């Protein structure tokens, strides 16, 4: 079974703090993704990565950065957390190739910025 793990289930941070959210997958997937999920807005893609050290902006990258130094690990960084970044953050991974592959999700990190 594919396993995607996230470093924290719940996190409370103060405005202005630098926040790191970690995601690790164990299936040697090339692609990794960070989403945020808010009521009424669904899942929105922040950043994704299709290879080590490669990254691409998703639909809402402002206020976020990412790092992928190893294939299995994809980190989301909030440089200076703000209250409007309070949300559920979901990491996902998928294989790549000529087919179409589903994404496997981690359990999520509920971040509260006060």
Partner 1 sequence: EDKVVQSPLSLVVHEGDTVTLNCSYEVTNFRSLLWYKQEKKAPTFLFMLTSSGIEKKSGRLSSILDKKELFSILNITATQTGDSAVYLCARRITGGGNKLTFGTGTQLKVEL
Task: Name the residues that contact partner 1, by CB under 8 A.
Answer: 4, 31, 33, 35, 40-45, 48, 50, 56, 58-59, 90, 94-96, 100-108
Nearer to partner 1 (CB atom), residue 16 or residue 91: 91
Give the residue from 54, 25, 41 showing the smallest Cα distance to 88: 41
CB 80 to partner 1: min, Å: 27
CB 30 to partner 1: min, Å: 8
In whole angstroms, give the CA distance from residue 94 to residue 101: 6
Q: Which two tokens stand for residue 67?
A: 């790092």
* Cα angle 60-66-72, degrees, rounded to a multiple of 5: 125
Nearer to partner 1 (CB atom), residue 56 or residue 79: 56
Q: Let me know: does 106 contact 92? Beta carbons within 8 Å.
A: yes
CB 78 to partner 1: min, Å: 21
| Bridge partner residues of 8 (DSSP) | none
Nearer to partner 1 (CB atom), residue 84 or residue 100: 100
Length in residues, the chain: 114
Nearer to partner 1 (CB atom), residue 16 or residue 107: 107
């Amino acid at each position: 079974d594919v396993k995607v793990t996230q470093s924290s289930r719940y996190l409370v941070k103060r405005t202005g703090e630098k926040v790191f959210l970690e995601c690790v997958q164990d299936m040697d997937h090339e692609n990794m993704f960070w989403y945020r999920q808010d009521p009424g807005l669904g899942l929105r893609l922040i950043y994704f990565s299709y290879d080590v050290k490669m990254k691409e902006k998703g639909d809402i990258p402002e206020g976020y950065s990412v790092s992928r130094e190893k294939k299995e690990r994809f980190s989301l960084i909030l440089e200076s957390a703000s209250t409007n970044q309070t949300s559920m953050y979901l990491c996902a991974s998928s294989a790549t190739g000529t087919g179409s592959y589903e994404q496997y999700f981690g359990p999520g990190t509920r971040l509260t910025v006060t």
